[in-house]
Amino acid sequence: MMITSQKGIDLIKEFEGFEPRTYTDAVGVKTIGYGTALFTPDIILRYEGRTITESEAQELLQIHLANNVEPVIRQYVNVELNQNQFDALASFIYNVGAGNFRNSTLLQKINSGASEDEIKYQFSRWNKGRVNGELVELAGLTRRRKAESDLYYAISPKKKMILVIVAIVLTITATYLFYRKLKQ
């Protein structure tokens, strides 16, 4: 069963940043640590006014991924994903929420096998947030969506190794055939 790798966690942490105390994020959600949303009054009360360590924030992040993000990917994405794709979607869902992802055109395009350009475009559309009640483009979200779509289409180390091996085999084969033809 695939889970978010350290690369995915690092991507989330890079864009979320660390806040040891509760704060209200750019779109009005009570948050703490590495952007972990505090949705219920009892959880808000548990953390309101407290300072948490980076270690506690990491734990909250991983709990949120395990309970609220990774199951959504497994349940709603109907195509095989590599680790980079899983990580990119984990970062995306962590930021926009499971409900938004479930109802997104991005999910529909992924499940229908749409082209790279179409899927990258769908990532890019999610760069807005409500500020003072108005939907506006946020530079940080634009950068995040670009990083997520780039990761989604990054070649995995395993695939990169396979491509290198194939290239070596093709080079050896071509060299062999070239010298064989010379001897004729």
Active site amino acids: 16
User: Contact, 80 vs 111, CB < 8 A?
Assistant: no
DSSP state of 19: E
Encode 74-89: b = buried (16+ Cβ within 10 Å), e = exposed. Answer: eebbeeebebbbbbbb
Determine if residue 67 is left, alpha or beta; phi over 0 gives left, psi from -120 to 50 gives alpha, anything else beta. alpha
The residue count of the chain comes to 184
The residues that bridge with 131 in the sheet, in sequence order, are 134
The whole-angstrom separation of Cα 34 and Cα 141 is: 15
The whole-angstrom separation of Cα 108 and Cα 114 is: 9
User: Contact, 82 vs 70, CB < 8 A?
Assistant: no
DSSP state of 154: S
For tokens 């040891």, the residue is 20
Tokens of 86: 């899983």
